[in-house]
Amino acid sequence: MGGGQNFPSREASKEKEIVLCTLPWPEERAKKGIEELKKEFKNVDVHYFHSKYENGKVAAIDVPEDVMKRASYLATLFWLPPSPSCIPNVKVIQFFSAGTNHVAKHPIYTDSKIPLCSANGVHGPQIAEWVIMMDLVQSHNYVNLWELQKKKEWKQGAGMQVSDRVGKRVGILGYGSIGRQVARVAKAMGMDVIAYTASPRNTPESKKDRGYIVPGTGDPDGIFPSAWYSGTRKEDVHEFLKQEIDLLVVAVPLTEVTTHFLSTDEFELLHKSKSRRAGTYVANIARGQCIDQEALITALEKGQISGAALDVTDCEPLPADDPLWNAPNVLITPHVSGSSDVYADRAFQVLIENIKREKSGGTLVNEVNRKRGY
């Protein structure tokens, strides 16, 4: 209306919130997620740092102290500042990994109350494909056929002993987001699915998936398993393993309870339950320590199981002289089953959802229970 000094509006003068990203991709690879984040929240600035994990070690990155102190949200895979005091204003830490066991001894985990959230749910499609791929490689004798191709040999007999998947049973040890997508694909192939969880799932409500779900995937209502087993006692796990399982998928989080979840007794039990048929094929996409590696090698050598597909080992990288490399009927990949060209995009969706919920006072997606370890 004329005259007087022009003052900035209260909104315009408000300092933007910082979303600090320390992620293992060049910023260009995360461009789509960053754009969606800025589109959803007009009052945020994204400070992006490319972190690297090389040969089992986190490479140092230089995050300015003032950025850490001003940050409201932290998105990371494995990098954390030295202590909670470095990030006094962070409201949520969003990990871009399925688990947080790799930081379980960090002061931010043990000594702070900053909510920690995982990216559980973003890995389901690609890891389920890896599991099914490995199972088919085994059941269709593809390794032998590939070796023949390299030698330019045409031997039909090498490919005749095929075991198709219809009517076979997949036992999913840890029926989370990954296990639920394995179940969806397995059911489409005509397989029977049985599930194991630590706590009981006795009601339709308790069987629902409350985490992040890639649209059109998984088992949101928990309807695929023909039977559901639960309990943390050894007897409870053994009851599940007795069910003549053709494909056993290890998908539990790594905790004190699940360390060496499968060992000598468990492999012997699997063998006994499948003694009249081809043995159980074991696929581990959890953590290497969930399986007693020495016991696994023995089980492979004795033929107690038909084989193993391992995307994780104890330790990583697996040393060149480790006997696991030469164990019979084993396929090993270097912890890559979760890789996907849309991984970052999906993980940013979880981050965006959790910022929304933090701002509205809602329940966070995939918040880690520090006592349980997941």
The 10s digit of each residue's pLDDT in 149-180 is 999 999 999 999 899 999 999 999 999 999 99
Q: Count CA atoms within 13 Å of residue 96 on its CB side.
A: 28
What tens digit of pLDDT does each residue of 241-285 get? 999 999 999 999 999 999 999 999 999 999 999 876 789 999 999
User: Does residue 2 surpass a pLDDT of 60?
Assistant: no
Instruction: Report the C-alpha dihedral over residues 311, 317, 319, 325, rounded to 10 degrees.
Output: 10
- pLDDT of 278: 82
Kindly state whether residues 169 and 301 are assigned to the same domain. Answer: yes
Kindly state whether residues 182 and 73 are assigned to the same domain. Answer: no
Instruction: Assess if residue 223 is contained within a domain.
Output: yes
- On the 0-12 / 13-18 / 19+ scale of CB atoms within 10 A, 357 is middle
> What percentage of the chain carries pLDDT values higher than 70?
95
> What percentage of the chain carries pLDDT values higher than 90?
89
Kindly state whether residues 107 and 175 are assigned to the same domain. Answer: no
Closest CA to 175 of 134, 239, 218, 238: 218
- pLDDT of 56: 62
CATH code for the domain of 225: 3.40.50.720
Q: How far apart are CA 69 and CA 88, in angstroms?
A: 6
Instruction: Assess if residue 8 is contained within a domain.
Output: no
Kindly state whether residues 118 and 128 are assigned to the same domain. Answer: no
Range of the domain at 115: 15-122+340-360
Kindly state whether residues 159 and 54 are assigned to the same domain. Answer: no
C-beta separation of 181 from 125 below 8 A: yes
Kindly state whether residues 202 and 180 are assigned to the same domain. Answer: yes
User: Between 12 and 112, whose confidence is greater?
Assistant: 112
What tens digit of pLDDT does each residue of 344-363 get? 999 999 999 999 999 999 99
Banded pLDDT at 11 (limits 50, 70, 90) = very low
Instruction: Assess if residue 97 is contained within a domain.
Output: yes
As a whole number, mean pLDDT of residues 208-216 equals 94
- pLDDT of 128: 98
Kindly state whether residues 128 and 116 are assigned to the same domain. Answer: no
Banded pLDDT at 99 (limits 50, 70, 90) = confident
- pLDDT of 28: 95
As a whole number, mean pLDDT of residues 22-51 equals 96
Averaged confidence pLDDT in the chain: 93
Instruction: Assess if residue 157 is contained within a domain.
Output: yes
Q: Count CA atoms within 13 Å of residue 145 on its CB side.
A: 14
Kindly state whether residues 131 and 104 are assigned to the same domain. Answer: no
User: Does residue 4 surpass a pLDDT of 60?
Assistant: no
Instruction: Give the count of domains, the chain.
Output: 2
- pLDDT of 53: 76
C-beta separation of 242 from 252 below 8 A: no
- pLDDT of 59: 80
User: Does residue 7 surpass a pLDDT of 70?
Assistant: no
Kindly state whether residues 92 and 170 are assigned to the same domain. Answer: no
Q: How far apart are CA 225 and CA 236, in angstroms?
A: 17
Kindly state whether residues 224 and 317 are assigned to the same domain. Answer: yes
Lowest mean pLDDT among 24-28, 35-39, 58-62, 227-231: 58-62
Instruction: Assess if residue 351 is contained within a domain.
Output: yes
Backbone phi and psi for residue 6, each to the nearest 5 degrees, phi listed first:
-85, 120
Instruction: Assess if residue 1 is contained within a domain.
Output: no
Q: Report how far apart the first and last C-alpha atoms of the chain are (Å, whole number).
A: 59
Can you give the chain as a three-state secondary structure string? CCCCCCCCCHHHHCCCEEEEEEECCCHHHHHHHHHHHHHHCCCEEEEEEECCEECCEECCCCCCHHHHHHEEEEEECCCCCCCHHHCCCCCEEEECCCCCHHHCCCHHHHHCCCCEECCCCCCHHHHHHHHHHHHHHHHCCHHHHHHHHHCCCCCHHHHCCCCCCCCCEEEEECCCHHHHHHHHHHHHCCCEEEEEECCCCCCCCCCCCCCCCCCCCCCCCCCCCCEEEECCCHHHHHHHHCCCCCEEEECCCCCCCCCCCECHHHHHHHHHHCCCCCCCEEEECCCHHHECHHHHHHHHHHCCCCEEEECCCCCCCCCCCCHHHHCCCEEECCCCCCCCCCHHHHHHHHHHHHHHHHHHCCCCCCECCCCCCC
Kindly state whether residues 101 and 151 are assigned to the same domain. Answer: no
Kindly state whether residues 220 and 347 are assigned to the same domain. Answer: no
Q: How far apart are CA 228 and CA 237, in angstroms?
A: 12
Instruction: Assess if residue 58 is contained within a domain.
Output: yes
Instruction: Assess if residue 370 is contained within a domain.
Output: no
As a whole number, mean pLDDT of residues 60-89 equals 96
Rg of the chain's alpha carbons, rounded to an integer?
A: 23
- pLDDT of 276: 67
